[in-house]
Chain A
Amino acid sequence: MGVGIEVTGLNAWYGSTHTLHDIGLHIAANRATALIGPSGCGKSTFVRCLNRMHETNPIARVTGSVKMGDIDIYSGISPVAIRRRVGMVFQRPNPFPTMSIYDNVASGLRLNGYRNRRSLDEIVEHSLKQAALFDEVKDDLKKKSGASLSGGQQQRLCIARALAVDPEVLLMDEPASALDPISTSKIEDLIFQLKSQYTIVIVTHNMQQAARVAEETGFFLNGKLVEFAATTKIFTNPSDKRTEDYITGRFG
């Protein structure tokens, strides 16, 4: 099951560039939350702060607190432990090219020392089914490389890989922006099904996508969270003039 995320006073820097200013919001458990905003507004940086990927860049720095359930992920816990509880799907599908489909899905568990073969088989099958990919690949699980799949299939493979480690939160950084419309709608269907079991945070450039999948939506601009509210409110009756300008296409 998913957990809620409470973000307070989050600031982030790349070198001397202050990219996130004092972000505070509550992401509800077992819901999909969308983050929208023009390029460079900090929404990707924000999700990367939620699993401490931001700090893998040596010049990056973060302050503030992110509480995931009862755990403050920035106080004394290792980033590796956090990332096992928070799955991430990236903008471009990035399956491990030297691994089979099966090995890709099993990689998170296996490389963290999980050895039980039979239950690994079950987990791989279950994860691929959750990602709506199993039927398409079940005959080539161990024969084909993950890189041999189509772009849309690769992205669902990456979702299966993230789900296999049984995370509580799933971060998706523009998961469909490199995909064609049919693959995109498959990913959106997936998000719709998965959000009953996981807390999903999705960054998207596509406002219709946000409207379709997310209960709540946050609008970022220049590193600040301008507005955060129910998706219907953001798209029909935003409180902030800048949000309205953005969603009506006046800029960005």
Chain B
Amino acid sequence: MASTAPRPYQNEDRRRGLRIFQSHFVTGLAVLATVLVVAPLVAIFGYLLFKGASSLTWAFFTQIPKPVGEVGGGMGNAILGSGIILGIGSVIGVPIGIAAGIYLAEFGRGTKLANAVRFTADVLNGVPSIVVGMSVYALIVMREKHFSAWSGGVALGIMMIPTITRTTEEMLLLVPHPIREAALGLGLPNWRSVLSITLPTASAGIITGCMLAFARVAGETAPLIFTAFGNAFWSHRLDQPIAALPLQIYIYAISPYDDWHRLAWAGALVLIVLIVISVALVRYAAGRAVLKGAG
């Protein structure tokens, strides 16, 4: 029986050229967008290399800043200080952030408290970093009556929490429901299922969230001005002012001296490279813990 319905592909040949063009056109747009995303990073990194690489000497990593007028000197104390402050920040931000994320996704779903926590996290995410610095200044530094490394760590930790909380929540919600059912079906209590099954399943995404938060606060200058303050000498004491790379870069960059400017460029280069290295190390360590063929 002859069909009277229109045949959807009868113009196939005529349209073929158009379709190929459309395909190439859209692919081209996607490539263009990719280039636009990658270009700034490459440009920044290239410019830093161009400006800063020549000042990178062994002394840069081992020495403290020299007084004005003396040649040389380095940012060794600032590198150490940044490490200490970021360590404190991570110790505070990562556990609190992940725990809050677990609460939002697994235990508090739909409750008023969870909605309040989620809202707070989103607002905190948008609070300017200098406001966080001022708050920590008021809460800790004013009470202690001096600047300190650990108040800087607290400021960075607070800034890490909302990012980690929200990514942890999102990643946990992505874990397929059948996986949770499998765990409950084995007779595991809910908390055990969350800690031993759901959380590890979402771990890759959660680690990415932590790294994102870490990389973001690693370059923060404003909250450290009121807390860690900076220090021209070696210090590893948590209750004393401490140097930090972003602070040191800031001080050198606004100075009127050419060799300080060069050191500031070198400092910025080192900061970015250190962030890249630490993110890569964590990813490598996390990747080794995951088995072949895991999703």
Contact = CB atoms under 8 A, between A and B. Distances in A.
Contact of B292 (A95, A111, A145, A158): A145
Interface stretch (A16-24, A77-85, A125-133): A77-85
Interface in A37-66: 51, 53, 56, 58
Interface string A122-161: 0000000000000000000001110110000000001001
Nearest to B202: A98
Nearest to A98: B200
Interface in A86-104: 87-88, 90, 92, 94-100
Contacts of B189: 80
Nearest to A96: B197
Contact of B188 (A53, A87, A90, A112): A112
A144 B186 contact: no
A144 B293 contact: yes
B115 to A, nearest CB: 16
Given A84-B187, A98-B200, A108-B187, A90 B292 contact: no
Contacts of B196: 107, 111
Interface in B189-204: 189, 192, 196-197, 200-201, 203
Contacts of A84: 186-187
Contact of B290 (A56, A95, A98): A98
A191 to B, nearest CB: 18
B178 interface: yes
A236 to B, nearest CB: 35
Nearest to B192: A111
Contacts of A92: 178
Contacts of B192: 111-112
Contacts of A225: none
B187 A56 contact: no
Interface residues of B, number: 25
A3 interface: no
B131 interface: no
B186 A94 contact: no
B138 interface: no
Contacts of A112: 186-188, 192
Contact of B186 (A58, A98, A99, A107): A107
B291 interface: yes
Interface residues of A, number: 34
A165 interface: yes
A96 B188 contact: no
A90 B181 contact: yes
A213 interface: no
Contacts of B184: 53, 56, 83
A162 interface: yes
Contacts of B188: 80, 108, 111-112
Interface centre among B185, B294, B295 (most CB of A within 10 A): B185
Given A53-B185, A158-B182, A98 B203 contact: yes
B181 to A, nearest CB: 6
Contact of A51 (B185, B201, B291): B185
Interface in B84-142: 110
B185 A83 contact: yes
Nearest to A147: B295
A162 B186 contact: yes
A97 B292 contact: no
Contacts of B294: 97-98, 145, 147-148
A148 B201 contact: no
Nearest to B293: A148
Interface centre among B182, B188, B290, B293 (most CB of A within 10 A): B182
Contacts of A158: 182
A165 B176 contact: no
A51 B184 CA distance: 10
Contact of A100 (B183, B200, B291): B291
B179 interface: yes
A148 B183 CA distance: 19
Interface in B233-264: none
Contact of A98 (B176, B182, B185, B201): B201
Given A98-B203, A145-B293, A56 B181 contact: yes
A108 B178 CA distance: 16
Given A80-B188, A96-B197, A148 B292 contact: yes
Contact of B291 (A88, A90, A143): A143
A90 B182 contact: yes
B291 A98 contact: yes
Nearest to A81: B187
Nearest to B291: A145
9 contacts: A56-B184, A94-B176, A96-B201, A97-B201, A107-B196, A108-B188, A111-B183, A111-B196, A148-B291
Interface of B: 110, 176, 178-179, 181-189, 192, 196-197, 200-201, 203, 290-295
Given A98-B294, A108-B186, 5 more contacts: A84-B187, A94-B182, A97-B179, A98-B200, A107-B196
